[in-house]
Amino acid sequence: MSLITTIDHVPASQPDLRHPDLALFFKDMTDLAAMTVSVPLAYICGTSEGDSLIAASSGEFAHQILGSWYLGRVALESPGLLQVEDVTTDPRFSDGKPVSSHQNIRFFAGIKIAGSDGIPVASLCVADFHPRRLNPDQEKGLEILARQIAFQLRHRHPVGDFKDHDHSLRRVGGEIPERRVAEERIREQAALLDKAQDAVLVTDLENRITYWNHSAEVLYERPAAEVMGQVANDVLYNEGSIQLKQAIKEFAVEGEWSGELRQRTRSGHEVVVQSRWSTIRDESGTARSILMMNTDNTEKKRLESTFLRAQRMESIGTLAGGIAHDLNNVLAPILMAVQLLRGRVASPRDQRLLDLLENNAQRGAGMIKQVLCFARGVEGERVVLQVRHLANEMQKIVVDTFPCSIQISTKLPKDLWTVMGDATQLHQVLMNLCLNARDAMPGGGQLRIEAENLVLDEHYSRLHPEARPGPYVAVTVKDTGSGIAQNLIDKIFEPFFTTKEIGKGTGLGLSTVLSIVKSHGGFINVYSEVGRGTEFKVHFPASESGTPLQTEGLDEIHSGNGEMILVVDDEVSVREIMKSALEASGYRAVVACDGTEAVALYAQDRHQINLVITDMSMPFLDGPSTIRALQKLNPAIKILAVSGLMAKEKVVEVSGSPNVAFLHKPYTTSKLLAAIQKLLSTSPVQETRN
């Protein structure tokens, strides 16, 4: 048997639900219903098919979706509030009759609205596109709304309607005196508004608060008793709010307004709300008060802001990549030329000038790597490092650049273990921590860098899940600054979180530090006390090798034996300096300006060319395409790929061959020659290509 039966007993005195005087009231009720139970659709249906949809919270959108009368009829036969968690699986709808003209309606709830004689005259319904169930507060809210609608139909009907029910409307001394009816209506309306998730407030025409619901108390951190009678603008806004002035101007013209506003809580925090203002009028049409409903969008706006910042960082990364490619091509010839000149310059003064030139070029190369690491996550080269050297270098930078009011000291034992890491990234960790310390001491103070060897046991690792048992080098950066409040400690490593003023911090410093430390297998402990200072203790796993990598300088120059090398690069200066360096070191060199020319030259002289050096970023035919084209001519060809952007793993993935080596730009002559000798000394791996 179908859930719905025919209603034959509709009284002749049924009210005209489409009377213009009721339209605005019904629209307000459906808006409140949708807001109370947090659904996209709320609507009122009549008892006849001609009154299938009287009012809805979403206007024409609801008319398109709820074209069927069937869903509205369901609630009319139910003794109380009816809920259907999922209309597609509920057995009561198994007769195949469509529940709506839109197949995506899944959840439905409705409650009948009875006339004065108890006969249903309409139903209040809500719907959603996802299966769900109302909580007790939402159920209570719908019941209150249904009673409010019934009350309005009985006691505020348009003239000429409900004539057969006049006796029920004039019970001045009867069962429900008018005063008790009005008081009950007010109580139910207040209870309904307190169930709403939005902050709802009402002001008089002088902008003094006359109503303040429970959600407003929670959002603005102010009880209703505290704000009643106060001017709303003084309670909610900072002085001189441009948004507020514009809203008031538009509201004065239109009588209603909706838009985004920034308001403040009692504690001074800013909240972003989607606000809707409406004029409340009496029966004569005279404005009596203003209704404001505010939806808290603070978290939504924060997520939007984070997303936009991430997009900007991605754009910065793309821009940085292009700039880095050009700068690497500028620095590579300088670094290579310096080492070639060392053998031709004997004067100590000139050698010092070459040292200065090389050190600054290396510093520029390091800055490029740091920008790429930050913006695009490019991994640098991991080598055995002595943290003591990095700390000493940081001490020099602090002394030269920080205010004189900040005193720095170090404690760095000589027997400090080494770590395996990227020198540029570890330098960035120390730099960011020292910069944070500087900003925490605007009036001066003490900055101290310490390092020590630690062996962590199983007990420690159980207390600190991010730690693993074994040897560590712990680096501590401590200051005597303002300190960090305990409720903020857990947030300081979040991207874009900052306590600094706008324009003085990006909120990315500590998140970058944490990212780098974790990528090195380490972890960070933070200790802070407000007013006394902060201590960051960074733990890096100690390297199994106790010998740190020696710095470059007068490295051994590896000479060739007349082998021919094809150099492929789109930069003239890079081609010329590489050709000069190779020929000065006993090799023969032939150059190509792009991949197309390189393939043609190799096809012509493939039996004489022993190795190809190619840049990975070139116009026309780029590095990866050039490598694949050359491998088709000779699967065993030896190739040295160079790039300032692409990681080694990516080059191997692109080439798919063990005969391809990688060298990161910019490089010195000694690094280039060492990479060439290593590649030439290995036996080529023969590969079969289809």
* DSSP output for 211-254: EE-HHHHHHHT--HHHHTTSBHHHHH--TT-HHHHHHHHHHHHH
The full set of domains in the chain, from first to last, is 20-188 (3.30.450.40), 198-296 (3.30.450.20), 379-553 (3.30.565.10), 564-681 (3.40.50.2300)
What is the rounded average pLDDT of the residues 623-650?
A: 82
Identify which of 72-76, 135-139, 159-163, 301-305 has the greatest average pLDDT: 135-139
Q: Does the structure show a pLDDT above 60 at 619? A: yes
- Peptide linkage before 548 cis (omega within 30 of 0): no
Q: What is the pLDDT at residue 563?
A: 92
Distance CA 292, CA 67 (A): 32
Distance CA 26, CA 17 (A): 9
Identify which of 195-199, 343-347, 476-480 has the greatest average pLDDT: 476-480
Q: What is the pLDDT at residue 181?
A: 56
Contact 414, 388 (CB under 8 A): yes
Kindly state the percentage of the chain with pLDDT values over 70. Answer: 74
> What is the pTM assigned to this prediction?
0.42
Q: What is the pLDDT at residue 21?
A: 65
Distance CA 257, CA 236 (A): 17
Distance CA 651, CA 675 (A): 15
Tell me the three state secondary structure of residue 330. Answer: helix
Q: What is the pLDDT at residue 12?
A: 39
Contact 68, 97 (CB under 8 A): no
Q: Does the structure show a pLDDT above 70 at 10? A: no
Distances in Å between the Cα of 541 and the Cα atoms of 269, 522, 582, 622, 684 are 41, 6, 40, 39, 36
Q: What is the pLDDT at residue 160?
A: 38
What is the rounded average pLDDT of the residues 338-352?
A: 80
Work out the pLDDT band at 8, boundaries 50, 70, 90.
very low
- Report the side by side order of strands in the sheet with 564-568: 588-592, 564-568, 609-615, 639-643, 660-664
Amino acid identity of residue 593, one-letter, is C
Kindly state the percentage of the chain with pLDDT values over 90. Answer: 21
Q: Does the structure show a pLDDT above 80 at 447? A: yes
Q: Give the CA-trace dihedral at 301, 302, 304, 306, to 10 degrees.
A: 160
Q: What is the pLDDT at residue 638?
A: 92
Structure tokens at 106: 């899944």
Q: What is the pLDDT of residues 523-533, one digit of tens each?
A: 998 888 888 89
Q: What is the pLDDT at residue 519?
A: 85
CA terminus-to-terminus distance, the chain = 69
Q: What is the pLDDT at residue 310?
A: 63
Q: What is the pLDDT at residue 166?
A: 40
Distance CA 161, CA 154 (A): 10
Q: At what angle do helices 136-155 and 20-37 cross, to 10 degrees?
A: 170
- Residue located via tokens 């605007």: 442
Q: At what angle do helices 595-605 and 623-633 cross, to 10 degrees?
A: 20
Contact 472, 552 (CB under 8 A): no
Identify which of 161-165, 176-180, 233-237, 462-466 has the greatest average pLDDT: 233-237
Nearest in space to 39 (alpha carbons), one of 115, 170, 133, 112:
133
Q: What is the pLDDT at residue 371?
A: 63
Work out the pLDDT band at 357, boundaries 50, 70, 90.
confident
Tell me which of 647 and 540 has the higher pLDDT.
540
Tell me the three state secondary structure of residue 499. Answer: coil
Nearest in space to 392 (alpha carbons), one of 406, 411, 405:
411
- Residue located via tokens 């050009």: 326
Q: Does the structure show a pLDDT above 50 at 550? A: no
Q: What is the pLDDT at residue 11?
A: 42
Phi, psi of 251 (to 5 degrees): -65, -35
Q: Does the structure show a pLDDT above 60 at 503? A: no
Q: What is the pLDDT at residue 690?
A: 46
Q: What is the pLDDT of residues 215-226, one digit of tens each?
A: 899 999 999 889
Instruction: List 589's β-bridge partners, or say none.
Output: 565
Distance CA 220, CA 339 (A): 68
Q: What is the pLDDT of residues 42-54, one digit of tens each?
A: 888 877 655 566 6
What is the rounded average pLDDT of the residues 564-581?
A: 89
**Average predicted confidence (pLDDT) for the chain:** 78
Distance CA 449, CA 427 (A): 13
Q: Does the structure show a pLDDT above 70 at 556? A: no
Structure tokens at 289: 């008060």
Q: What is the pLDDT of residues 580-615, one digit of tens each?
A: 889 988 999 999 999 999 999 999 988 999 999 998
Q: What is the pLDDT at residue 501?
A: 59
Q: What is the pLDDT at residue 493?
A: 77
How many CA atoms lie less than 13 Å away from 506 in the CB half-sphere? 12
Q: Does the structure show a pLDDT above 70 at 157? A: no
